[in-house]
Amino acid sequence: MKIVDMHCDTIMRMALSDGKISLRENDGHIDIAKMQKGGALAQFFAIFIPMMKMKEIYGEDSSYKYFNKAYEVYLSEMEKNKEFILPAFNYEDIMKNKEMGKMSSILTIEEGDPVQGKMERIKEFYDKGVRLITLTWNFENCFGYPNSDDDTIMKKGLKEFGIEALAYMNELGMLIDVSHLNEGGFYDVAKYSKKPFVASHSCARNIASHKRNLWDEQLKLVGETGSVVGVNFSSSFLRDGSNFSTIDDVVKHMLHIKDKAGMEAVAWGSDFDGIAPTLEWVDYAGMPKLEEALSKHFTPREIDMINHENALRVIKASMK
Ligand SMILES: [Zn+2]
């Protein structure tokens, strides 16, 4: 048990399947057996809010209603699998679960829309066990603006509520996630957050030009703030024009992030079950193949840092 993976969309698959897909066993990237085989220590499970489907299905305050629906699915899966995996709310929980031989699950929200500009909602989500919010997905919301091809949008900073929310999340002990956020928002998080943050599922923009990837200047700031980047396994994030994710591509991004942000910034952010299924190492059970490839470029100590030390350091500093 050694791998901390900072992002997957497995809950979304389950929530949208009307009970047909279970965490115990399914045909996606992540299930209990695959996690055990791959060496999982802790998995961040995102409740991704599919904004494009919201309003017509759920009406007013739709993303909040959807969150609660997906949350029930998450709780029931945790209950059904408690002999293998337990929810964790901080670093100590992960260690306790590990001592019991169990994997840990950390609940996150991808897309801040359910917050609806209300601090008390952030508290409510914290009380429900959410320990990370990906501030935006691909739309403007109460926190700020998403990554965009439009330079004006890309450069806008966080909204006033977004900046205030950073302080509140720091105080509560909730991780701030800049994946999907625009550049202006990223720089505001780096400036205003008093705790390290994460780019839970992003790659390096100088290697692949996906607009969600981080420029070298951003990577440098990630390093300077003691934050981490979880490398995303999506082929489009790894290589321009690619529709098959290769092990080599992942290694290349990790080497680049090491070079620009420092060894302390490199981590896993698979995006399993949120990306096309075509990966050279197939699914979570194939993680040892990635480790084997890393061993040709990184020392055993550095591989430990990638696998869990870096992510755990940020969890310890920013989550309570
Ligand atoms: Zn995402």
What's the rounded mean pLDDT across residues 15-34?
95
Distance from residue 38's CA to the centre of ligand 1 (Å):
22
Tokens standing for residue 132: 């990370």
Mean pLDDT for 2-7 is 98
Q: What separation in Å is there between the alpha carbon of 100 and the centre of ligand 1?
A: 31
pLDDT of residue 61: 85
Q: Is 175 helix (H, G, I), strand (E, B) or coil?
A: strand
pLDDT exceeds cutoff 80 at 65: yes
Q: How high is the pLDDT of residue 136?
A: 98
Once rounded to an integer, what is the mean pLDDT over residues 29-46?
98
Residue pLDDT, tens place only, 166-225 = 999 999 999 999 999 999 999 999 999 999 999 999 999 999 999 999 999 999 999 999
Contact call for residues 70 and 47 (beta carbons, < 8 A): yes
Please state the domain extents for the chain: 3-318
pLDDT score of 193: 98
Res 252: pLDDT: 98
Q: Quick check: 57 pLDDT over 90?
A: no
* 26 pLDDT higher than 90: yes
d(Cα 80, Cα 183) in Å, to the nearest integer? 40
CA of residue 37 to ligand 1 center, whole Å: 25
- Tell me the CA–centroid distance for residue 48 and ligand 1, in Å: 8
Is the dihedral angle over the CA atoms 123, 124, 126, 132 positive or is it negative? negative
Q: Is the pLDDT of residue 63 over 90?
A: yes
- In DSSP notation, 119-148 reads HHHHHHHHHTTEEEEES-SSS--SS--B--
Tokens found for residue 204: 């390096």
Q: Scanning the structure block, which residue is given the tokens 């990223």?
A: 186
pLDDT recorded at residue 18? 84
Asked whether the predicted pLDDT for residue 268 surpasses 80, the reply is yes
Beta strands in the chain (DSSP E): 3-5, 40-48, 85-87, 103-110, 130-134, 175-177, 198-202, 228-231, 266-268
Write down the pLDDT at residue 52. 78
**Which superfamily is assigned to 3-318 in CATH?**
Metal-dependent hydrolases (3.20.20.140)
How many angstroms does the Cα of residue 179 sit away from the middle of ligand 1? 7
In this prediction, residue 59 has a pLDDT band, given cuts at 50, 70 and 90, of confident
CA 44 to ligand 1 center in whole angstroms: 12
Task: Say how many Å lie between the CA of residue 180 and the centre of ligand 1.
Answer: 7
pLDDT in tens, 117-170: 999 999 999 999 999 999 999 999 999 999 999 999 999 999 999 999 999 999
Give residue 204's pLDDT. 98
Has residue 113 got a pLDDT over 90? yes
How much is the average pLDDT of 42-49?
Answer: 97
Distance 47 CA to ligand 1 centre (A): 10
Question: How many C-beta atoms lie closer than 10 Å to residue 296's C-beta?
Answer: 7
pLDDT of residue 58: 77
Centroid of ligand 1 to alpha carbon of 50 (angstroms): 10
pLDDT over 90 (residue 56): no
> 54 pLDDT exceeds 80?
no
Centroid of ligand 1 to alpha carbon of 81 (angstroms) = 25
pTM of the predicted structure, to 2 decimals: 0.97
Q: Residue 10: pLDDT above 90?
A: yes
33 burial via Cβ count (<10 Å: 0-12, 13-18, 19+): middle
Alpha carbons 26 and 82: distance in angstroms, whole number: 17
